[in-house]
Structure 1
Amino acid sequence: MASGLSDSTLAASDQSSHSATNAENPTAQTLSQQPRADEKAADVPTEGNAAAPGLLPNEGPKDRSANIQRSRSYGNGYGCTTFNDDEENTKDSEKGQERQFEVRFDGDSDPMNPRSFSKTRKWVIVAIVSAGSTCVTCASSMYTLTYGQITTEFHISRVVATLGLSLFVVGLGLGPMILGPLSEFYGRRPIYVFSFAFFLIWLIPCAVAKNIGTELVSRFIDGFAGSAFLSVAGGTVGDMFVRNELQAPMMIFTASPFIGPPVGPIIAGFINQYAAWRWTFYVLIIWSAVMLGLIIIGVPETYHQVLLRHKAAKLRKGTGDERWKAPIEVMQRSILQTILRSCYRPFLLLALEPMVLNLCMFSAILLGVLYLFFGAFEIVFTNNHGFELWQVGLSFTGLFVGELLAILTDPLWHNNYLRLLRKREEEDGESGGSEPEYRLPPAIAGGILVPIGLFWSASSMVVFAMVNRELISV
């Protein structure tokens, strides 16, 4: 359930902000300002060159092979700016394309550039996509407090009922491999609208299911559709904010999917205590319908490459010159090829990059522990403490408060990140670079605190069980 910026998103968000002309009102003066066809391509820096100086677009295979080795990150610290295979296809296509007809934004003040939005509008968009992430992850955990009723109604074991939670999480994991690449072709807004519409539609069979098979299939498709907000929404934040403004909005968005799991049982506890389990999904349907309306009304397209494609279309219509092209229009790549690459690359990285494997295992263990609590809390607090269902839901308040406290420490870790950047600059005399390890200190602290918390929790349960047994025997 991790969220972050993909390589393509970072490349788009750090692109050079220069356009050939204004799409709405092209003039002869602006056309004359374009570089001549016989000028060197190096005179017009590409996105990659802007991100990592010194790597020229005409480097040969020998030079490009050096990129496999470790290199500095010139990104924003949330990821590394890289040169993926898709961008190499652009170079091949540019051999027959005059670069002076490549459409760019007229700086950050360009009306078509999402970075020209007012701060209020930017934060409204961040709030909507973050609330969408919270809604999806709430749907994953609210289901856990329906176990008592659905096991009786469907005549199934608790283990089978737990599959509804597991399949939803599987859908959350598989969805980004498909929805992420599609957003690079069609933009972020269509993915939001269609995926959340499917998320809403497949909540209906969850609510009216007459057997466990319908419930399980619907839960999987729900997780798959809802995963768009865990994979694409981070790119929306990067589209609107420049590098030095990313910390605060990214903190809000990154926290939103982790707030959902503990909040879900708190809400579901009250619902299932006083109403039938189907009302858990009725509430989610109402919530999702409101969210879908907010997405349609308040979240515009923000993906730079798609917006440049729209700008190029307007420019071609206004000038009658078909040579004006956006970068995405000259890329020689297919949707199927991009999706297939997105599907196998994660496994390739897991197999060939020990650091990626270790970090993924660390995240998987933490996520597994979090979701294990959803099944364990009801058993522990019902059997040992005699809690009612709404009280069991409130027991997740501890997780919620802990996550809020962790979010509030973000400025501390950000200041430490800036300190490491200054230290590196003083030692190497190089500014603007970063290292992925500079983002690891909070993970190191978490790696120490999580085992302490688990031992504390287990010890308190054992002690209480022993005391309770002694009291009963007396």
Structure 2
Amino acid sequence: MDVDEAKARPLPTSYPLEPPNRVAVFEQYQELLTTQKGNRDNIFIGGYTLRELDPHLVVLDEEPGTEHPRMWTSRKKIWATAYMAAFAFFSPFASTIFAPSLYVVMNGLRITDATIGALQISISMFAYAIGPLFLAPLSEIYGRVVILHIGNITFVAFSIGAGFCQTAAQFSICRFFSGLGGSAGIAVLGGFIADLWSLEQRPKASGIATLGPVLGPILGPVCGGWMSERASWRWALWVPAIASGVLLVAGLILLPETYAPRVLQMKLQKQRKSRSDEQLYTVLDFTPRPTSVKSLATQIFRPVVYLILDPALLLASWFFSVVFGVIYLVIVTYADVFALGYHHSVGIVGTDFLAVGIGMIIGSIATVKAMDALFKRDEAGKATYRPESRLISCIVGTALVVGGLFMYGFSALRAHFIVPLIGMFIFAMGSTNIFLALQLYTIDGFRFPASAFSTILRSIFAGAFPLFGPKLFGKLGIDWGVALLAFLVLGIGLPCIALLYVFGARLRKVGVKRVENFEGI
């Protein structure tokens, strides 16, 4: 629950006469909320400083290493973030795992249309667009962990089922529902990071967590190519399902809840069992709760509302989505360029994807260092910090993306295969820079970070782009087809960055007012 969401309301009237202690807690809590509204890094107020006012108030301990997720030890936070990265890795990994063996899959399912073949990769991305509509806001009601586990179970079940499919229709249905479950990790990623890490620590934490969804689509083909060549394309579906199953068991045992309001609710429920004769309560009883159908619907559709009403988020999502869609479109060209053009085997085509994977790792490391430097610069004058500072590195990222695409497009099938791979390496560094910068911007700059880091638009782009890829490259060729994508990134990226950096704070205020007006209807 974001601090900005909490609004003063009359004390609960469940008791004939409110105890004076409870009135004092309520008044002090409202003062804390007012004070924290000016804080750049809003932390959920669990009532720790109010614990002496009323023995019936249940609070979150905020001593170092105790209950409040922000107070966990660094070791515990790192473990939770690493688990989050692993969970967010396997579904994107599986989404593209048979990209180098696409023609083998098409033969196995008797698919003859190239667009229908590309749809088998894209359909997972369409599921990613739908899943976060309800998974992200639900994680802000019921907590992150339960959403992760339910999603993981769904992903494992339908991934295993996809490996047994005999027709394109069966395969598409299983792929869609496995993507729906797998979208849980991506849907809660932004909120998960905000739960645990401060503004200063987020670049490194985001760098770790983002490696999952960023490297997944790239390393999937690396492994899938060899699996398809040495065993069967069906094992390319079963292997990530088995790995996710192991991760699920480990998470059920070891992963604690990170969403502070949910942690407080769980503590209240536990204490009510041992202190059933007392009228226990928490500070959550002083804030509006989404209990009606209308309020729940508002929570569920918040990502769409944010995207439509908030101009800053729309611009950031638009740029993110274009780059993300280009990645998936270029992935689909690998089979044509390196298998048909350079006569690489299915396994070698998968290995060719390592150029992108290595570029993303280096890009992630470089971006984290740049973000640290920018944050320390702003910390010198604390009043000057603003989330738009995260976007400065996107200028370099955009230049790398455009340059890498031109190098790939105009060298493919004309020069030694290492040249287009170097182009993809450069492209990958730039795209990772853009992804990480925009992710941090949405986490720092918007309320409800799980909803703000919305995957709706980018997933639609990633699903749609590969579908028109065969016709695009058939008409223009690889060279000018990829050049068109480079011009698209340049034409959208630079204006978006400029507008956000100059007018971002103003645009975000407009978005806040519009969302508040919508929620007040």
Q: TM-score w.r.t. structure 2 length?
A: 0.69
Q: 1:227 to 1:35 in 2, by over 3 A?
A: farther
Cα distance in structure 1, aligned partners of 2:25 and 2:390: 38
Q: 1:30 aligns to what?
A: none
Structure 1: runs of 5+ lacking an equivalent: 1-7, 15-33, 54-73, 88-97, 426-430, 466-474
Cα distance in structure 2, aligned partners of 1:353 and 1:115: 28
Cα distance in structure 1, aligned partners of 2:300 and 2:261: 22
1:375 aligns with 2:360: no
Cα distance in structure 1, aligned partners of 2:289 and 2:414: 64
- Which of 155, 171, 181 is residue 215 of structure 1 equivalent to? 171
Secondary structure at 1:36 match in 2 = helix
Cα distance in structure 1, aligned partners of 2:214 and 2:296: 27
Cα distance in structure 1, aligned partners of 2:58 and 2:35: 16
Larger Rg: 1
Cα distance in structure 1, aligned partners of 2:273 and 2:242: 43
Q: 2:364 aligns to what?
A: 407
Q: 1:332 to 1:444 in 2, by over 3 A?
A: same
What root-mean-square deviation, in Å, do the aligned CA atoms of Structure 1 and Structure 2 show? Answer: 3.0
- Which of 119, 127, 131 is residue 82 of structure 2 equivalent to? 127
Tell me if the contact between 2:70 and 2:195 (Cα under 8 Å) persists in the aligned partners.
yes
Cα offset, 1:254, TM superposition: 2.1
Cα distance in structure 2, aligned partners of 1:162 and 1:35: 66
Aligned length: 394
Q: 1:113 to 1:35 in 2, by over 3 A?
A: farther
Cα distance in structure 1, aligned partners of 2:163 and 2:239: 10
Cα offset, 1:100, TM superposition: 8.2
Cα distance in structure 2, aligned partners of 1:297 and 1:455: 48
Structure 2: runs of 5+ lacking an equivalent: 7-18, 46-52, 417-521
- Whichever residue aligns with residue 204 of structure 2, its letter is A
- What do residues 150-171 of structure 1 show as CA deviations (whole Å, max 9, x unaligned)? 2112221221121122110111
Q: 1:315 to 1:344 in 2, by over 3 A?
A: closer
Cα distance in structure 1, aligned partners of 2:322 and 2:316: 10
Tell me if the contact between 2:162 and 2:174 (Cα under 8 Å) persists in the aligned partners.
yes
Counterparts of residues 143-158 of structure 1 (less than 5 Å): 143-156=98-111, 157-158=113-114
Q: 1:417 to 1:317 in 2, by over 3 A?
A: same
- Which of 106, 112, 121 is residue 67 of structure 2 equivalent to? 112
Q: 1:52 aligns to what?
A: 37
Cα distance in structure 1, aligned partners of 2:300 and 2:141: 16
Runs of 4+ in 1 over 6 A off after TM superposition: none
Cα offset, 1:35, TM superposition: 7.5
- What do residues 179-235 of structure 1 show as CA deviations (whole Å, max 9, x unaligned)? 122223322222122210111011122100011111111111111111111122443
Cα offset, 1:411, TM superposition: 1.4
- What do residues 111-164 of structure 1 show as CA deviations (whole Å, max 9, x unaligned)? 433345433332222211211111111011103234212211222122112112
Cα offset, 1:463, TM superposition: 3.3
Cα offset, 1:393, TM superposition: 0.8
**Kindly, what percent of the aligned residue pairs are identical?**
24
- Whichever residue aligns with residue 231 of structure 2, its letter is A
- Whichever residue aligns with residue 204 of structure 1, its letter is I
Q: 2:58 aligns to what?
A: 103
Tell me if the contact between 2:222 and 2:350 (Cα under 8 Å) persists in the aligned partners.
yes
Cα distance in structure 2, aligned partners of 1:448 and 1:310: 48
- Which of 266, 281, 285 is residue 310 of structure 1 equivalent to? 266
Cα offset, 1:311, TM superposition: 2.1
Cα offset, 1:37, TM superposition: 4.6
Tell me if the contact between 2:137 and 2:300 (Cα under 8 Å) persists in the aligned partners.
no
Cα offset, 1:436, TM superposition: 2.2
- Which of 397, 409, 434 is residue 458 of structure 1 equivalent to? 409
Q: 1:75 aligns to what?
A: 40
Cα distance in structure 1, aligned partners of 2:91 and 2:384: 35
Q: 2:211 aligns to what?
A: 255
Cα distance in structure 1, aligned partners of 2:65 and 2:364: 34
Counterparts of residues 277-356 of structure 1 (less than 5 Å): 277-320=233-276, 322-329=278-285, 331-334=288-291, 336-356=293-313
Cα offset, 1:334, TM superposition: 2.4
- What do residues 270-329 of structure 1 show as CA deviations (whole Å, max 9, x unaligned)? 111122211111212221111112211221222211121122234444444553223445
Cα distance in structure 2, aligned partners of 1:110 and 1:323: 28
Cα distance in structure 2, aligned partners of 1:369 and 1:131: 24
Q: 2:320 aligns to what?
A: 363
Q: 1:68 aligns to what?
A: none
Q: 1:165 to 1:126 in 2, by over 3 A?
A: same
Tell me if the contact between 1:171 and 1:221 (Cα under 8 Å) persists in the aligned partners.
yes
- Whichever residue aligns with residue 434 of structure 1, its letter is Y
1:174 aligns with 2:159: no
Cα distance in structure 1, aligned partners of 2:412 and 2:133: 40
Secondary structure at 1:305 match in 2 = helix
Cα distance in structure 2, aligned partners of 1:335 and 1:120: 39
Tell me if the contact between 2:98 and 2:225 (Cα under 8 Å) persists in the aligned partners.
no
Q: 1:190 aligns to what?
A: 146
- What do residues 409-439 of structure 1 show as CA deviations (whole Å, max 9, x unaligned)? 11122212321343xx3xxxxx366322111
Cα distance in structure 1, aligned partners of 2:54 and 2:22: 7
Counterparts of residues 18-97 of structure 1 (less than 5 Å): 36-37=21-22, 39=24, 41-45=26-30, 48-53=33-38, 74-76=39-41
- Whichever residue aligns with residue 184 of structure 1, its letter is E
